[in-house]
Structure 1
């Protein structure tokens, strides 16, 4: 018994369809229920080829990026530190003989060297323009104002005095900030009390006292001695 017979029994008040109608309906139903024959299809490589091309592009891009990242030109030369952090290796055709540096001002440092020519130059480099320096060796002293471009200590002028060349020297330097209470000019505190609370830098004791009263302040500085290049040694003829 098929679904058409069941349908006729379930709805008794409706006249049954004709035999011709039932036959056509059963034919259509048989056609729908029959397994559809799958058409033969030819394999093609459209998508895989496209995927391969895309993959090749990605791989090429990765290789190029890797090369760009991995390959670098020659490393740039490191920049020379400022003169107030490390004195230059040369000064106006003179070679660096000795040097010292301090990271703060209102401090002191000693420079030891042995000059060989009257061209000796002693240069003070200060981070803060207008800084005040004082230098002393034994009974001789000299002072001035320094900045990043350097300032000369006149103690090097003693190279013209007999006996100053060809021996070791130890010169002590102090550097103070520009607003340090320092009396400017020699004899500024004569008569006594003329300085009005300022320090007359005429001795190492006064410089030490000023440094202790101020305490270390910002402002790096360095000092260096420069001398004429040493003459090349000449070997005797064999």
Structure 2
């Protein structure tokens, strides 16, 4: 229903206008309404285009975000730090501020191993580490020997004391070490053997030959051990 029809209904006593008059009035009305309708169409189109652009930007951002997330892999887990080996399995690199010159190890006791090194100072230390506390060690080089009892914390060989003797420093040494279990039949001290060297069924560890015989009798026994020479870094 247009404006002309509403006007005719509002004023019933006035005769209706002619068809020509109605046509001209509708034409003028259409001319006046045309500029007012165009902005509405433009505003509607502008809103639609702006919404489309905004929607496209959001979609593009989401796609890029998903692509980035898919392309970035999670960081690989770091391997757990392996605990350091016990000293009786691997002599430590540093001992009481001294650096390791050379080292050797054995997985069983009643065995022997050679240690070769060249000392650099009178602070040289030769340390034996034994898995079983109270294990018995013996060391020998060129007619000199020393023995004692060792454990996980290490024990010093008295052969290192020779660093104070003339000629011991400045040359290469090759010392042989034996380690026996705590219950090995070893004579403890000079009082264990009567004069004449008779020790009964016990062994007097005073020479490499005696140490080899004891090792052969016992066979390899449980008890890892290691030995190392330490000196000034």
Taking structure 2 as the reference length, the TM-score comes to 0.66
Distance 1:193 1:227, change over 3 A: closer
2:166 & 2:197 partners in 1: Cα distance?
A: 38
Is 1:102 equivalent to 2:106 in the alignment? Answer: yes
Residues 109-143 of structure 1 show CA distances to partners (whole Å, capped at 9, x for unaligned) of: 00000001000000000011100000000111000
Residues 7-38 of structure 1 show CA distances to partners (whole Å, capped at 9, x for unaligned) of: xxxxxxxxxxxxxxxxxxxxxxxxxxxxxxxx
Q: Which of 212, 220, 229 lines up with 1:216 in the alignment?
A: 220
Q: Which of 152, 158, 162 lines up with 1:158 in the alignment?
A: 162
Give the aligned partner of residue 39 of structure 1.
Answer: none
Give the aligned partner of residue 208 of structure 2.
Answer: 204
- How much has 1:185 moved relative to structure 2? 1.0
* Secondary structure of residue in 1 paired with 2:190: coil
2:230 & 2:209 partners in 1: Cα distance?
A: 28
Larger radius of gyration: 2
* Secondary structure of residue in 1 paired with 2:79: coil
Flag structure 1 segments of 5+ consecutive residues without an equivalent. 1-62, 230-238
- How much has 1:189 moved relative to structure 2? 1.7
Give the aligned partner of residue 182 of structure 1.
Answer: 186
Is 1:149 equivalent to 2:153 in the alignment? Answer: yes
* Secondary structure of residue in 2 paired with 1:202: coil
- How much has 1:71 moved relative to structure 2? 4.8
2:192 & 2:175 partners in 1: Cα distance?
A: 24
* Secondary structure of residue in 2 paired with 1:205: helix
Residues 85-108 of structure 1 show CA distances to partners (whole Å, capped at 9, x for unaligned) of: 100000000001000000110000
The alignment of Structure 1 onto Structure 2 pairs a total of residues equal to 164
CA RMSD of aligned residues (A): 2.0
Residues 120, 225 of structure 1: 8 Å contact kept: yes
Residues 188, 194 of structure 1: 8 Å contact kept: no
